[in-house]
């Protein structure tokens, strides 16, 4: 029937009759030729590419599922990514690169954005680091006298703070008359034992001492420098007497 033919070709009975004048709708014959109107195909939309349009950004990473027998080196070569980047993205420890089938790996694909370098103003004045207070000298008392070769002299002072890794207590021993420094000691302890070789074997062993916090730096050749980072303590003196000098003083009633 015309209705069946129209349905089969996706058209209408009226359209077929318009193309075939004289055809009676109810009297079709076997072998009769009919013109069937066909709708022209709908033209496809043309995609216009804008040459100024930004290039699509590739994904930052993809997920790779490990297959049996794959190695980290092979995966890195496949995606043109360094092994270290894959390790960093997946918290893998160097030397422990064993992979397992069906293991998921994050593969970084984007180029890392360089970290901006902070601009340093050469004319800016650096913020000064606060100075430490002066250590208080504890022992021995000022003017103390030590007698004989068996005396042990341990200098002690108070702590001013928890010192940084580049900070030290600087202990200086010097002559109270001429001011010549005979010994400089840097330590993080708050005490120091005077070695025997610094004691005057002739019996006149008067020595002055003071303590200050210093901070370590370097000169242009890399040699260490120590600059004062606090207030210098008060000066104390002590005297060490050899056995002969001590006996002579007692003999003449000077002690």
Q: How many C-beta neighbours within 10 Å does residue 143 have?
A: 10
pLDDT exceeding 90 applies to what percent of the chain?
9
Least confidently predicted of 35-39, 117-121, 156-160, 219-223: 117-121
Residue-level pLDDT at 202 = 46
pLDDT tens track for 88-147: 877 777 766 778 888 888 888 754 444 455 566 666 666 566 688 889 998 889 988 888
Question: Scanning the structure block, which residue is given the tokens 């055809």?
Answer: 23
Bridging pattern class, strands 144-147 and 236-241:
parallel
pLDDT tens track for 74-91: 888 888 888 888 888 777
124: left (phi over 0), alpha (psi -120 to 50) or beta: beta
Tokens, residue 162: 């928890």
Provide the CATH number for the domain formed by 137-251 in this structure: 2.60.40
User: Which one is the CATH code of 61-108: 3.10.350.10, 3.90.700.10, 3.40.50.170, 3.30.450.40?
Assistant: 3.10.350.10
pTM (2 decimals)? 0.45
User: Which one is the CATH code of 1-41: 3.40.640.10, 3.10.350.10, 3.40.50.720, 3.30.1490.190?
Assistant: 3.10.350.10
The dihedral over CA atoms of 24, 27, 31, 37, expressed in degrees to the nearest 10, equals: 40
Whether the pLDDT of residue 216 is over 80: the answer is yes
Q: What are phi and psi of 137, to 5 degrees?
A: -75, 130
Cα within 13 Å of Cα(68), Cβ side: 0
How far is it, in rounded angstroms, from Cα 166 to Cα 106? Answer: 42
Angle at the Cα of 91 from the Cα atoms of 90 and 94, rounded to 5 degrees = 110
Contact, 46 vs 76, CB < 8 A? no
């Amino acid at each position: 029937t015309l209705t069946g033919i129209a349905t089969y070709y996706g058209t209408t009975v009226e359209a077929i009759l318009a193309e075939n004048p004289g055809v009676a709708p109810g009297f079709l014959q076997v072998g009769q030729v009919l013109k069937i109107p066909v709708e022209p195909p709908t033209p496809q939309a043309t995609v216009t590419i804008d040459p100024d349009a930004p290039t699509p950004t590739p994904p930052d990473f993809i997920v790779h599922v490990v297959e049996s027998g794959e190695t980290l080196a092979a995966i890195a070569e496949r995606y043109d990514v360094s092994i270290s980047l894959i390790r960093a993205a997946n918290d893998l420890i160097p030397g422990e690169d064993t992979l397992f089938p069906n293991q998921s790996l994050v593969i970084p694909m984007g180029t890392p954005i360089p970290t901006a370098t902070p601009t340093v103003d050469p004319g800016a004045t650096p913020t000064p680091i606060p100075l430490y207070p002066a250590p208080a000298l504890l022992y021995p008392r000022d003017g103390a006298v030590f007698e004989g070769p068996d005396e042990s002299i341990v200098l002690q002072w108070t702590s001013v703070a928890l010192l940084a890794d580049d900070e030290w207590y600087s202990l200086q021993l010097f002559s109270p008359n001429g001011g010549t420094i005979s010994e400089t000691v840097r330590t993080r302890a708050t005490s120091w034992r005077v070695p025997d070789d610094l004691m005057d074997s002739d019996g006149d062993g008067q020595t002055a001492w003071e303590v200050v916090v210093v901070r370590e730096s370097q000169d242009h050749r890399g040699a260490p420098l120590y600059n004062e980072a606090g207030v210098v303590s008060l000066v104390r003196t002590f005297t060490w007497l050899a056995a002969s000098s001590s006996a002579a003083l007692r003999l003449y009633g000077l002690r």
